Amino acid sequence: MCALASRWETGSALFRQTRIGLDGRPFTLLKFCSLKPAESEDTTMWNIGADLRVGPVGRWLRRLSLDELPQLWNVLRGDMSLVGPRPERPFFVDEFTRQFPWYRARHRVPVGLTGWAQIHGLRGDTSIADRAHFDNFYIENWSMWGTSRSCCGPPVRS
């Protein structure tokens, strides 16, 4: 149903984009298309929230995170895991690594469909420094029985 709704609104069911995964290796991430296509897809534009190309179906898919469902195929392929730092586009990995030296440490584990930063509300247009801090905290403290130090993660930097 999501694929049909995406195709009806945008002309395409799936969106493919290069992201950076484990050990800095690129892979093709899949999502349901929630934006009407631009004349040239800009790999350096941060598409968050109020993009005018998002129609009602796209807003609904994004609000419920249904646009992320095709990433289960990425999980089955081994490109991603269910839990881990969210993958980012190559341009932004390079930018964030220059700004925050600890950013690249997030890539020492498989990227995930959801991560510690996201479940603590750090998604969309939020601090990259805080997201990297939460992701690295999770990587360093996870266990099969829960995190070892704290259930809530590190304090958010101001």
Give which of 149, 69, 139, 71 is closest to 110, Cα–Cα: 139
The answer to the question of residue 73 being in a domain is: yes
Q: What is the pTM of this model?
A: 0.79
Cβ neighbours of residue 7 closer than 8 Å, sequence gap 6 or more: 13, 33
Number of domains in the chain: 1
Would residue 147 count as lying in a domain?
no
> Residue 152: inside a domain, yes or no?
no
Q: Per the domain annotation, does 150 fall within a domain?
A: no
* pLDDT value of position 20: 96
DSSP three-state, residue 88: strand
Domain assignment present for residue 75? The answer is yes
Ranges in the chain, pLDDT < 50: 147, 158
Tens of pLDDT, residue by residue over 106-127, are 899 999 999 888 888 888 778 8
Q: 110 lies in a domain?
A: yes
Is 155 part of any domain?
A: no
In 66-142 the beta strands, taken as DSSP E runs, fall at 81-83, 112-114
Q: Where in the sequence is the domain holding 47, given as residue range(s)? A: 2-141
